[in-house]
Amino acid sequence: MALYAVVDPRTGETIKEYPTITDAELQDALARAHAAHAEWIQTTTVAQRAEMVRRVGELHDQQSQRLGEIIVREMGKPISEAVGEVAFCKDIYDFYADNAERLMADEPIELLGGEGSAVVRRSSYGVLLGIMPWNYPYYQVARFAAPNLVIGNTILLKHAPQCPESSAAMAEIFHEAGVPEGAYINIYATNDQIKDVIADPRVRGVSLTGSERAGAAVAETAGRHLKKVVLELGGSDPFIVLGSDDLDATVAAAAEARLGNAGQACNAGKRFIVLDELYDDFLAKFTAAMTAAKPGDPSSPETTIGPLSSALATERLSDQVRRALNQGARLITGGEHDGNFFAPTVLTDIPEGAEARYEEFFGPVAQVYRVASEEEAVALANDTPYGLGSYVMTDDQEQALRVADKLDTGMVFINAVGAEGAELPFGGVKRSGFGRELGRFGADEFVNKKMIRIGG
C-alpha cells in the first residue's frame, strides 16, 4: 500500500492511495515557496493577507459538511465532531484576520537613556515547514497556517500519511481564497525527505504536532541546522477533583474530557485524581458514564464515539492496557475492542512504578487515582514526563488558583472542559514540547522581532 492513503478505520478498506512526492518535485516546491515569499511580502500588506485568511475561514464554513465527511473516512471522527472541528477552524481564521494589524504593529520601546526612539518591528521569517498529525486534521493546520500566512511566511505542509484527502482539500481552499500557490504547498513527503527539507537553507522554521519520538527526531535535525522549532507533543493531563457542589456535573465533565475524539487528543483528561472523600462516589458515577458511552458508526449524527484511527492505534492501546493489568492495575470496565471500536475503559489501583503511570494512553482509557490531600493531588499530577494541560475541579476558588500555580503544565482549566479558544495560547512544557500556538503568542513564534533604534 502507498504511504499516503485513505484507509477507513471502520472497515480497514483502502479507499484511495496518493503518490509520494518525488525528490525533483520536492525541490520544485521548495523553490516555489522561497520565490513566493520574496514576492508576497513585497506585493501584499498585512491587511490584504488578513482578508485572504478570513476568506479561508469562510470557505471552511461553506464546505463544512464535505470537509467533515472526509475526515470521517480518514480517521473515524464522528461527523458531529468533524463538523464542529471545521467550525473551530473558522474561529481561528477569523481571530487572526480580525487582529492581524494589531498583532503585527510596531512596538515602541521606552529608552533608558539617550535621545531619539526605538521600536520592535515584526516581519516574516520566510519558508516554514508544518508537520501535522491525524487526530485533528483541519484544526492543527489552522492554528499553524493562520498566523503565519498573516505574517507573510510561506508554508510547506506535510500532513499525516492517513490524511491525504483532507490536506488536498485544504490546499484547494487556501488557493481559492487567494493565497498564492507558492505560498501554501501541500507535500506528500517521506520522513527521509522531510529531513532534507529541514536541512535546506531556504526553510527557516519547523512546527510539529505529534509524538515525542517524532518531535525528538525533528528537533535533532533542526538543531543541527540552527532552525527555529515549535513542538506540541503528547500529554497525560491530570483531571483533579478536590470538591464539587454538583458531582454529577463534574462526572459529566470528566467523561467529556476523556471521550472527546474517542480519547485521541493530546490535552484530553487522562489521569483522574480524586480526593478520598469524593472517590467512591466519583468512581461509581464515572464508571457508569464511561460504560454507557458506546462506540458507533462515525457517519451517523447520533454517534458520539467513533473507532480509533487505525489498526495500529488499536494495537498500541490494547498493548498498553494489557501491560497495565499485568503490572497490577485493576480493570473496572472496558478493555476490549471490536475491530478498531475500543470500549471506554477505566483502570484503577495502578501501582507506583507501573509504566502506565508515565505513558500517554491515546484512546478512551481513563486512569483513576485516590489521594488524601490537595498536596498529594498536586504531587501526583506533576509526577509525569508530560506537561501539556490540566483540569482542576473545586468549589473553592482560592484553592483552584493555588493548585493552578503549583501545576507544572502549560495550561490549566478550572471548572471547565472544552474551553479552548482561538484567543487562548496552546502549548506545554517538559516532554509535551515548547512554543505556543493560538492567540497573540501563536503569532509571535515565527516572526522576526527586528529592533530599530532611531537617533535624536
Taking the C-alpha atoms of residue 400 and residue 226, their distance in angstroms, rounded to an integer, is 40
Choosing from 232, 374, 437, 445, the catalytic residue is: 232
Please confirm, yes or no, whether 232 is among the known catalytic residues.
yes
Interval 306-322: pLDDT, tens: 999 999 999 999 999 99
Hey, what's the cell of 17?
Answer: 492511495
CA 319 vs CA 312, 324, 453: distances in Å: 11, 9, 59
Query: What CA dihedral angle connects 185, 188, 193 and 196, to 10 degrees?
Result: 10
Does residue 395 have a pLDDT over 90?
A: yes
Angle between helices 139-151 and 46-62 (to 10 degrees): 160
d(CA 212, CA 214): 5
Do residues 432 and 292 touch, judged by C-beta distance below 8 A? no
List the one residue out of 447, 455, 442 whose CA is nearest residue 96: 442
266 counts as catalytic: yes
What confidence score (pLDDT) does residue 456 get? 75
**DSSP assignment string, 62-97:** HTHHHHHHHHHHHH---HHHHHHHHHHHHHHHHHHH
* Interstrand relation of 365-371 and 345-348 (parallel, antiparallel or unpaired): parallel
Closest CA to 100 of 57, 54, 174, 47: 47
Residues of the chain above pLDDT 90, percent: 99
List all residues 6 or more positions away from 398 whose beta carbon is below 8 Å from its beta carbon: none
Q: In this predicted model, what pLDDT tens digit does every residue of 126-146 receive, in sequence order?
A: 999 999 999 999 999 999 999
Considering only residues 311 and 456, tell me which one the structure prediction assigns the higher pLDDT: 311
pTM of the complete model: 0.96
Structure-block grid coordinates of residue 152: 507573510
pLDDT of residue 274: 98
Q: Is 112 exposed, middle or buried (0-12, 13-18, 19+ CB in 10 A)?
A: exposed
8 Å CB contact between 378 and 406: yes
Place of cell 481564521: 93
What burial class does residue 276 get, using C-beta atoms within 10 Å of its C-beta: 0-12 exposed, 13-18 middle, 19+ buried? exposed
CA atoms in the 13 A half-sphere facing the CB of 19? 5
Contacts of 177 (CB under 8 A, 6+ apart): 52, 53, 55, 56, 58, 59
What is the average pLDDT score of the chain? 97
Amino acid at 182: G
Alpha carbon 313 to chain centroid distance?
17
DSSP state of 422: T
pLDDT at 120: 98
Task: List the beta strands (DSSP E) in 292-383.
Answer: 330-333, 337-338, 341-342, 345-348, 365-371
Quick one: cell of 114?
539617550
pLDDT at residue 1, rounded to an integer: 75
Contact yes or no for 143/426 (Cβ under 8 A): yes
Question: Which tens digit of pLDDT belongs to each residue from 227-273?
Answer: 999 999 999 999 999 999 999 999 999 999 999 999 999 999 999 99
pLDDT tens per residue, range 107-127? 999 999 999 999 999 999 999
Check pLDDT > 90 for residue 324.
yes
- DSSP-assigned beta bridge partners for residue 391: 239, 413
**pLDDT at residue 299 is higher than 80:** yes
In three-state secondary structure terms, 367 is strand
Say whether 437 sits in a helix, a strand or coil. Answer: strand
Characterise 178 by phi-psi region: left (phi > 0), alpha (psi -120 to 50), beta (else).
left
Which one of 74, 165, 266, 374 is the catalytic residue?
A: 266
pLDDT at 389: 98
pLDDT digit string (tens) for 163-200?
Answer: 999 999 999 999 999 999 999 999 999 999 999 999 99
The SS3 assignment for 164 reads: helix
Radius of gyration of the chain (CA): 23
